[in-house]
Each structure stands twice: as C-alpha cells, then as structure tokens.
Structure 1
Amino acid sequence: MASIEKRSECSYRITVSAGYNSDGKQIKKHKTINLDPKLTEKQKEKELDRQSVLFQEEVERGTYLDADKLTFKQFIEKWLKDYAEPNLAPKTLYRYKELLDTRIIPALGHIKLSKLQPTHLTSFYNNLRENGIRIDAKYIAKPELQNLLSDRGLSHIDIAQLSGISDRTFSGMLSGMSVSHKTAQAVTKTLEVKLDSIFSLNGEPRGLSERTVLHHHRLISSILTAAVQWQLILINPATRVKPPSPERAEAKHFDEVQTDYILQLMEAEPLKYRTMINLAVYGGMRLGELAGIEWDDISLEKGLLQIRQAGQYLPGEGTFTKVPKNESSKRIISLPGTVISLLKQYKLWHNGQKAKLGDDLWVDSGRLFTAWNGEPMFPDTPSKWFHKFIQQHNKKIMEDEKISKEDKSKYLLPEVNFHGLRHTNATLLIGQGVDVTTVSSRLGHARTSTTTDIYSHALKKPDIEAANKLENLFKKKDSSEQSKQA
C-alpha cells in the first residue's frame, strides 16, 4: 500500500514498497507529485489517490523510472520507444536518431536527467560550433599512412578488408583522393592510431551551421518537454537557454528567365524526365510526393492531380510509401494544359514500355514514375538526374568555343537542387500576384505563416507594387484636382 507524505503546500511524496533486497532490507521507491494550487482539497485528495495507484502499478510492473538515478541517455531510450517510434514519420525518426547517436548522447547522455542544467546545453551548442566538428568533412591521407603500412607489413587489400572499405577506395586514398570522415575513421580504428596522425583535413575546418545547432536544440527541448509532462523533472532546462538564431536564407530558386530556359532545354531530354521537371515546376510538389504519384491520382480530363502519399527511402529499410504527416499535405491541385498534354504523351510511352516487357517482367505498381520494370521509382532519382543535368549543361556551355566569355553567364544555370523547383514554383506564383493562401494550399503547407516565412523574398515585389499602386491612386486624384482648378 502506498503512503503519502505532504512536503509543502502543493508537493507530496508517495512511497511504495518494492520488496526486499538480498540482505532482507525493504526496498522503497519514492515519487514527488506537485499538484495544481487551484485544486480544491477534495480534488487534491482524488488526484493523489489516482497517482498513488498508478505509481504502485509502475513499481509492481518494474516500469517505474527513478528520476534521481535516470541518465539522459536512459530517458532518451524510453522516449524513443514510448513516443518517437510509435508517432513520428520514419524519415523524421531516422534524422532524430542520427542527431542523438552522433552528438547528443555522446556529449550529454551520461548526465543524470535531474541534474541536466542550461549550462550543459550552452557548452554543448558552443562545441557544435567549433571548427573541425563536422563529420561530413573530407580527409586526405598523409604520407605517414603508407609508412605505417610498410612498417607493419600490411598490404592494401589487408587493411581495406579489415576496415570494411573497398580496395579501390583505399587505393584512391593512398593516391591522394579525399575520403569521408567515416572512411578515415574506419582506417584509423583498424590501425589503432589517432585520426590526425595519418589524415589531414581537406579544406578549412568548420563547425556546424546555426541552423543545424538549432535542430539539435529543438530535439533536446522536445525530449525534455516529455520528461516534464511525464513528471520526471519539474522544469525543462532547454527553455532557459537562448536558442540559436540562424539568419534566414532566401530559398534557392530559379528566376523567370532561367525557368523558361530550363523548360526549353527539357524538350531535348527523355520524355520521362521532361515530365518530372514540368510537373515539379508547375505543381510545386515535394520530391517524395512526386515519387508517390499514381496514375489513378491524375484526371487527364479535368486537369487535376491528387497528392495523397509520398515515396521515401531509408538506409536499412529500403524504399517505402507513407501518407503525409498532416491533412494539409493531402491536396488536389490544377495542372495547366501544357502539363496535361505532356502527361498524355508520357502515358502512351509508359504503356509501350509495359507492353514490351509483358506480364512476366512488368510489375504493375500503378506509379506514374517507375523503374525499368514498373516497380516504384527510387525516390531520389529525379534529384540525382537533375543535379547531373545542370552539371552537364554548364560544362557544355563552358567548353563551347562559339559562345564568348561575356555571353557564357547568360546560359549557365545556378547550382539549385531539385527541391529548388518547388521554391521556384512558389516564388513565381507570388511574383505573378497569386494570393498567399492559394500558394500555401497548392504547396500543402499547414499554415500560411509557413509560406510567408519561407518566401518573404518573393512577397517584397507585390508589397512594393501595392505601395506604388496606392501612391499612384492619390497622384491621379491630385492631378485631377489641379486640372479642375486650372
């Protein structure tokens, strides 16, 4: 039976017996409950009884967590199991686990949850900003690596196999090719030496961006908020830390002239990719949403496209389909006649591919964009193709001797990724005077404030035009009055 001890006006200590230890001494578990001071005495009594029963059940089941002994790492593991894994989207969960495993847990996991202070978080964020902290940095092997292999009598094949990397990668490394932090670390771990003894950083050492530091802060704050809600700590220390404030960068996009040029260039590209790019420019959908479109989602007669799912890929899980995280992402958008006409051409080509392979080889996934055999397209395929397209185009322009140096800049395309086509769609729509509510709806944003935050740069032009129109209105009135007086 649980016992209750009043500690202060609204604080109570519940004690429950958890059996006996090997010495025959009774094991007691304690939990402090803080009640709302607005509750009546009867309400307090009822809430204490409820909390006592729950606490005793937790102790009996062995699921009670002692906040005084619980480390931040242990709580993170519970948060992942009880909240994150059942509720978060697979890609979000994967990203969170990356942040937790690579930096947060190694730096803060050992600290007791109840002892975690704002100063711990501030020091952690400052460490993330330090030069050389990035794990996406590239490394070049020093001559010391070759000397070390010779001294130990190790061949290239031996060390490559022991490190879990290919012989080709290792040979390239010895000839001066830069490698990732993960590859360099695998070699140093195998040879049991420090990283900087056989590798040098390729380029200037850098810390994480303020935006990435903010991502760490938001994740930590979210986890600690759960700890408060689960009554393991009273206050979230992350709320007492000034969050990182990254400068808002303009979303990278193509301007009107560049977009028109890209659409012209698409005329010479394979129909499949021409259709992808046109859909992205005119539809503004996300990369995963494009991969998730099925033929049944398109009405060629009405010129409508339904967005209801997304194709995604995760290491270890492969390619899968997921529904949008919120209802606003499920939407129906109109497509112009140009795109509908292109889709009709593409459908004929797509059906031809299906007929060539036959029922034995063709997998009828129903997807708009597929692999060679009809299976859903790898979600990142459009992104990789578009990146390669820009690189090849720019290389061709630079090597074209018929184009003068002065004119080359007119034809070169900026390094904007595939997602930039979504930004391009929104920016051009706003620039053409389409209201933000309509743009937000087409993009699938949950709030119009999201649209205005991301595309504040595009909103400046209509805002200036609005101011000028108002000014012109009164100028006309003044001019009219002056003519009457004359």
Structure 2
Amino acid sequence: MAGKPGTRTKRATGSIEKLPSGALRVRVYAGLDPLTKRRHELIEIVPAGPQAEKEAEAARVRFVHQINERRNPKTNATLDQLLERYLSQFQGSPNTLQLYQTHVKNHITPLLGPVKIGRLDAEVLDSFYAELRRCRAHCPRKRGLIDHRTAREHECDERCRPHRCKPLAATTIRHIHFILSGAFKKAIRWGWIKESPTSWAEPPPAPKPNPKPPNAAQAAQIVTESWKDSDWGAMIWTAMTTGVRRGELCAVKVESVDFTPGRETLWLERAIRREPGWGWGEGDLKTHQQRRIALDDETVAVLKEQVARLQARCEQLGVELRPNAYLFSGAADGSTFTTPDSVTQRYDRMVTRLGIDTTLHKLRHYSATELIAAGVDPRTVAGRLGHGGGGATTLRTYTAWVSEADQRAASVLGAGMPVRPNRREEL
C-alpha cells in the first residue's frame, strides 16, 4: 500500500484509502438505496498502527461477505411475498391481523413491497421510517399537489385543498416495525436470510401514555344525558363502573351477571368483534382469558333494572327471556347484539352535543383512575381491566395517578404514626 495520504488501493470489491492522520478508510459499494436511490456504501475507519493494513483488509473482506449474503440469499423473495406468507400463518387475533394487513397495504407495499428481502438493511428501514414521519400519504416532494375530496372524476371545489404533509403517528410506525420484525424472524427460521435488519433499525420511541379520562363534572354530564334512554344509560353506567372494552360490553348476556348476594359479579367470556370477510360476530376476549368483575351495589341495581326491562318486553311479546339473551340489545327480546361501532357512534354524537372532547374508550380510563385514586392496588385494577403482564401495562399507562395515590398514602401513614419521643418533649 502506498504511504502517501489520499492514496487509494482498489481491491476486487471496495477500496482502502490512507488519510492524512495515517488512519485507513475502508469503503465498499453496497448498491442503491431502494427508497432514496442514493449510492449506499459501507465505510469503516481503521486507526493508524502496525496492524492497520491487515485490519483494513479484514474489514473490507467482512463488508464484501455481508453484501454478498444480502445479494445472494437462499431466496429471491420480495418483501411483499414474505409478508403474504407471514400473515397467512399469523396466529394473533382477527382484529390484529386486519390491522396488520391494512398497514401492509397502505404503507409497506407502496414503498418497499417489490424490494428483495436480501437488499433490506437497517439503513433502508430507517429511511423508510423517516418517510412515514414526513408524510403518511407518501406524496412526491413537489409543489402544487392537491388533496382531492374524491378519487373519482369530479370538478374541484373548496373541499379540494392544497396538500399538506401529515406524519404517520409514532404508534402506527412502531406497529409497522413489529410487523416487519415478526416477518424477518420467520424468514430466518425458514433459512431465507441469516440476519434480520429490524434488529438494528430504529423506529420512533413509544409515546408516553396520556389517558385523559373525563373529569367528575364531565362524567356527571355524560351519565345524566345517557339516562334519557334507560337502556343506553344502563350501558354507559356499566362501562364507567367496570371499565370493560366496548366489544366485551356488547357481548354481555343475562346469564353473564351473577346477582347472588355477596357474590355480585359480571362474568366476561366473549366479545363482539369484526371477523375479516365475515362481519361482526362473537369471539374470544382480547387476552383470551375469561375474567370476573365484582360489582358495586348501585351497578347491581342498574343491571337488575335492565334485566327487568328485558323481561317486561318479552312478556309483551309473549316469549320467554332466554338466559343467553344479550343484555344490551336493539331487539326487544335481546336476541341480537349491538355492534361496537354503533355504540361508539352514538356515544360520539352524545358527547359532541354536550361539548365534551372525549371518546368511549376513555370510560375505561375513568374507571381505572377512579380506582387508583381510591387506593386500589394496580394489580387489582389490571385484573378488572383485563390487562396482561401482571399489571405492567396498568402501571405504565396510569403512572401519574399511581404516584398521586402513593403520595396520599404516605400522608395518611404519616398522620397515623405515634409522636416521636423528641417531638413529644418539644410539645
């Protein structure tokens, strides 16, 4: 190797260049970035020293080996082909599968779908995540773009406005990262590739949980408004006091409620969910674990009144109220369930009339924060909400309320302690 700085020694693949400091720069061409189309090179600086040339050559050989592994994997499959096979074997819930399929269709396929999996590395994925943070619509970087009100032929009006880039939410990008991570793990097991690029890629950090439940005044408004319809009021009351998910609430049946004195509980076994290709139907709970929720006296009274209303309607129809009748149903005899989407839409219309910025899901937050504020331990709260992980999710989501409850507990403990001896003398 020449001793002058700036001298570059070319090898069959790559080059080694001596820098003014005496260090050696190893550079190996690794192709074009599939997203940006920019030249992609692997570079490493080897410090000056008696073994520098040997170390530089070893680095160059290592780079060449890495590139050859990417270019010549055991399969020429594209990312679309990998994801199709991965999702066909997916064992999660139907809702999660549908969500993943939507992310693949809207974001992964348009940008990376045709790329061979052997060409994907951490740098490409980081560029991909940066593009998602730039614009969720993946618009070309040019002026004069219009967001049209419809994709069909039309005459533009005030609803067709100049395009404004909106970033994809960090949570959604992380979901996409999880999809890719799971797919590449399968590819390694199948022998398609030797290393997953997701191990080195960096998706955006998880946003901090911010539940924002309705405050006491807002909760009172919501309850008052909902009770203009007794069935609707009973449903909203139950959601607030139990913290159940909307699909679980829609699946509650007459037999799900145990009114035995001293053992008043709500037994959650199933949930109403959308099945891809089939529509709405009963399915397992989100965590696939049944659970019982203890009921307070007022909620027991509310549910007894709801059963009584169903019983009265069945008597008017001349039919018997079945134990498996749905407790909150659009049918007089409880024969059909209410769909979760219809509950959400009705709730949204109600809180909009009240001028309250909230959602149905935040009733779960209301239930959780009220319990924690009352001093109930997070593990018990997690059990009522159906959180997995032994309460880790509950702690992470409701940290602020747990801290506040802990401070109040410390004050109560301190107030109940006996007077210290030296303090007794001062008094």
Q: TM-score, normalised by structure 1?
A: 0.64
Change (3 A) 1:305 1:364: closer
User: Among residues 250, 266, 271, which one is paired with 1:305 in the alignment?
Assistant: 266
Partner of 1:451: 394
Partner of 2:196: 236
Partner amino acid, structure 1, of 2:405:
P
Q: Which whole-Å CA distance do the structure 1 matches of 2:225 and 2:109 have between them?
A: 48
- SS in structure 1 at match of 2:134: coil
**1:123 maps to 2:64:** no
Partner of 2:82: 75
Partner of 2:101: 97
Q: Which whole-Å CA distance do the structure 1 matches of 2:122 and 2:322 have between them?
A: 55
Change (3 A) 1:358 1:316: farther
Alignment of 1:388-399 (within 5 A): 388-394=349-355
Q: Which whole-Å CA distance do the structure 2 matches of 1:67 and 1:74 have between them?
A: 14
Change (3 A) 1:466 1:124: same
Q: Which whole-Å CA distance do the structure 1 matches of 2:182 and 2:337 have between them?
A: 35
Q: Which whole-Å CA distance do the structure 2 matches of 1:186 and 1:237 have between them?
A: 39
**1:464 maps to 2:407:** yes
Alignment of 1:381-460 (within 5 A): 381-394=342-355, 413=356, 415-447=357-389, 448-460=391-403
Change (3 A) 1:363 1:436: closer
What displacement does 1:265 show? 3.9
1:362-406, Cα deviation, whole Å (9 max, x unpaired) = 999621111235311122222222111111223xxxxxxxxxxxx
Partner of 1:169: none
1:177-233, Cα deviation, whole Å (9 max, x unpaired) = xxx97x622337xx9xxx99x94247x531112122111111111111121222221
Partner amino acid, structure 1, of 2:425:
K
Partner of 2:30: none
Partner amino acid, structure 2, of 1:456:
T
Q: Which whole-Å CA distance do the structure 2 matches of 1:207 and 1:238 have between them?
A: 21
- SS in structure 2 at match of 1:320: strand
**1:211 maps to 2:180:** no
User: Among residues 292, 309, 323, which one is paired with 2:284 in the alignment?
Assistant: 323
Change (3 A) 1:482 1:298: closer
Partner amino acid, structure 1, of 2:76:
K
1:333-378, Cα deviation, whole Å (9 max, x unpaired) = 1111111111121112112333444569x99962111123531112
- SS in structure 2 at match of 1:313: strand
What displacement does 1:124 show? 1.0
- SS in structure 2 at match of 1:187: coil
What displacement does 1:481 show? 1.7
Alignment of 1:20-419 (within 5 A): 67-81=74-88, 83-84=89-90, 87-131=91-135, 133=137, 184-187=150-153, 199-201=160-162, 204-267=164-227, 269-301=228-260, 302-313=263-274, 316-327=277-288, 329-358=289-318, 366-372=325-331, 374-394=335-355, 413=356, 415-419=357-361
What displacement does 1:427 show? 0.6
Partner amino acid, structure 2, of 1:93:
L
Q: Which whole-Å CA distance do the structure 1 matches of 2:206 and 2:222 have between them?
A: 32
**1:483 maps to 2:418:** no
Q: Which whole-Å CA distance do the structure 1 matches of 2:132 and 2:360 have between them?
A: 29
Q: Which whole-Å CA distance do the structure 2 matches of 1:323 and 1:283 have between them?
A: 19
For the Cα contact (< 8 Å) 1:67–1:113, is it kept in 2?
no
Change (3 A) 1:365 1:468: closer
What displacement does 1:260 show? 3.7
For the Cα contact (< 8 Å) 1:333–1:442, is it kept in 2?
yes
Change (3 A) 1:355 1:485: closer
Q: Which whole-Å CA distance do the structure 2 matches of 1:261 and 1:199 have between them?
A: 38
Percent identity among equivalent residues?
25
Partner amino acid, structure 2, of 1:484:
E
Change (3 A) 1:379 1:259: same
What displacement does 1:247 show? 2.7
- SS in structure 2 at match of 1:212: helix
Partner of 1:157: none
What displacement does 1:261 show? 4.1
For the Cα contact (< 8 Å) 1:121–1:238, is it kept in 2?
yes
Q: Which whole-Å CA distance do the structure 1 matches of 2:328 and 2:247 have between them?
A: 12
Change (3 A) 1:358 1:220: farther
Partner amino acid, structure 2, of 1:270:
D
Note the aligned Cα RMSD (angstroms): 3.1
Q: TM-score, normalised by structure 2?
A: 0.73
For the Cα contact (< 8 Å) 1:430–1:439, is it kept in 2?
yes
Q: Which whole-Å CA distance do the structure 1 matches of 2:126 and 2:174 have between them?
A: 12
Higher helix share: 1
Unaligned runs of 5+ in 2: 1-72, 140-144
Q: Which whole-Å CA distance do the structure 1 matches of 2:236 and 2:286 have between them?
A: 25
Change (3 A) 1:333 1:364: closer
Change (3 A) 1:115 1:392: same
1:160-192, Cα deviation, whole Å (9 max, x unpaired) = xxxxxxxxxxxxxxxxxxxx97x622337xx9x
For the Cα contact (< 8 Å) 2:272–2:282, is it kept in 1?
yes
Name the count of aligned residue pairs. Answer: 344
Change (3 A) 1:464 1:246: same
Change (3 A) 1:335 1:445: same
For the Cα contact (< 8 Å) 2:126–2:203, is it kept in 1?
no
Q: Which whole-Å CA distance do the structure 1 matches of 2:226 and 2:113 have between them?
A: 51
Q: Which whole-Å CA distance do the structure 2 matches of 1:359 and 1:316 have between them?
A: 34
1:260-307, Cα deviation, whole Å (9 max, x unpaired) = 44334444x211111111111111100110011111111123311101
Partner amino acid, structure 2, of 1:436:
P
